[in-house]
Amino acid sequence: MKSFLVDQDGYYGEFGGAYVPEILHKCVEELKNTYLEVLESEDFKKEFDQLLRDYVGRPSPLYLARRLSEKYGCKMYLKREDLNHTGAHKINNTIGQILLARRMGKKRIIAETGAGQHGVATATVCALMDMECIVYMGKTDVERQHINVEKMKMLGATVIPVTSGNMTLKDATNEAIRDWCCHPADTYYIIGSTVGPHPYPDMVARLQSVISEEIKKQLMEKEGRDHPDYLIACVGGGSNAAGTIYHYINDERVGIILAEAGGKGIETGMTAATIQLGKMGIIHGARTYVIQNEDGQIEEPYSISAGLDYPGIGPIHANLAAQRRATVLAVNDDEAIHAAYELTKLEGIIPALESAHALGALKKLKFKPEDVVVLTVSGRGDKDIETYLSFNEK
Ligand SMILES: *Cc1c(COP(=O)(O)O)cnc(C)c1O
């Protein structure tokens, strides 16, 4: 049977793999040879599950959104990752990876961050586990995301502003990789999404797969069947989407809809719609679609949502799109903003701007009244209030 999960060599179809400098080859090999054994051990599972329950607050609710259902003519459930500790799904991944790092005997944790959400989730688990934490962040982002920088510092992390390139996420990632090259023996690099060299995309997908594991149980209770007709999630690098679809990926009864950031429109050049506009390339150690110019230089993406503002895409999703297993829609800034106001007014839930892109896809879809739809609200909107207010929609 055709599988959309990773193969023996770390590929999803023609996407993925591990394209790393010679000096990191050993680190990536070590991780590859360790992660499955650790993630599948009883000892890891016990500690991970306990922290997800008592620290993160899982399981997150699966909420039947009555007014949203009426509006879109289906049975619409929201998977409430916004209710997690630290306000989004990212904590599921950082807890899993720090438990792995500890079991590998690593002493020093490094991470890259764009908007600062992954940096905060990493600094949080480092405080929890009493481990040294260094976060690389583009200088432009340090200035734009002041509150998250202060949170990371309060949590005990060292934030290093990166001044190369455009001083954003891509440059922070390069710097984190450089650090890893210099300290391969004692340092563990926590990547924040289903990106990077194999085994990261598969590892992050597995750690986030708790989302679809819960959806299965919750739908069984509420609907008497364990699968929906459609799953909808936003994609930056693709981790909340990977978690949402993981246990349904080979189940063709379930439609998969991914919302990427259209920015100001895919034809404007100010966009982060990587799946629609990207060409095959290598980014952060993986072969995947990349927004690049004719010389193969990575172009700066744009989205109103910092979490979706990434010039690559997880190889798992690139393959789902190439194989037409998933439908990919570009949702523009204004459509996302409108959808955020709509959810707030209909259901009393202020979503993160990223999640608002998943909601913005609803207007582009047609459902049957009996369709069961699950949409993942990846995070809460507290961090985005100023952006929302600047649109001041009545
Ligand atoms: C970071 C972030 C995203 C995008 O990351 P993925 O890896 O694509 O999930 C989406 N939603 C929220 C709330 C985020 O913080």
Helix (H, G, I), strand (E, B) or coil at 365: coil
Residue 219 in tokens: 């739908």
Question: In sequence order, what are the residues at sequence separation of 6 or more whose Cβ sits closer than 8 angstroms to the Cβ of residue 297?
Answer: none
The pLDDT value recorded for residue 136 is 97
Q: Which of 69, 75, 79, 90 is catalytic?
A: 90
The pLDDT value recorded for residue 1 is 66
| pTM of the entire predicted model | 0.97
Span from the CA of 117 to the centroid of ligand 1 (angstroms): 8
Please identify, by atom number, the ligand 1 atom nearest to the C-alpha of residue 235: 8
Residue 239 appears among annotated catalytic residues: no
pLDDT tens digits, residue range 272-285? Answer: 999 999 999 999 99
The pLDDT value recorded for residue 12 is 98
Q: Which of 209, 239, 378, 383 is catalytic?
A: 378
Strands, sheet with 230-234, edge to edge from the N-terminal-most edge strand = 62-64, 75-80, 372-377, 230-234, 255-263, 326-332
The pLDDT value recorded for residue 356 is 98
Q: Average pLDDT for consecutive 10-residue bins of the chain (394 residues)?
A: 92 97 92 98 98 98 98 98 98 98 97 95 98 96 91 98 90 93 94 97 98 98 98 98 98 98 95 94 96 90 89 96 98 98 98 98 98 98 94 70
Contact criterion met (CB below 8 Å) for 136 and 160: yes
Span from the CA of 224 to the centroid of ligand 1 (angstroms): 30
Q: Which residues line ligand 1 (CB under 6 A)?
A: 88, 90, 117, 193, 234-241, 307-308, 352, 354-355, 378-379
Residue 134 in tokens: 């260094």
User: Of 106, 114, 253, 242, which is closest to residue 180 (Cα–Cα)?
Assistant: 106
The pLDDT value recorded for residue 309 is 86
How many other C-beta atoms lie within 10 A of the C-beta of residue 174?
16
Diameter over CA atoms, the chain: 57
Please identify, by atom number, the ligand 1 atom nearest to the C-alpha of residue 117: 15
Question: In sequence order, what are the residues at sequence separation of 6 or more whose Cβ sits closer than 8 angstroms to the Cβ of residue 334?
Answer: none
The pLDDT value recorded for residue 369 is 98
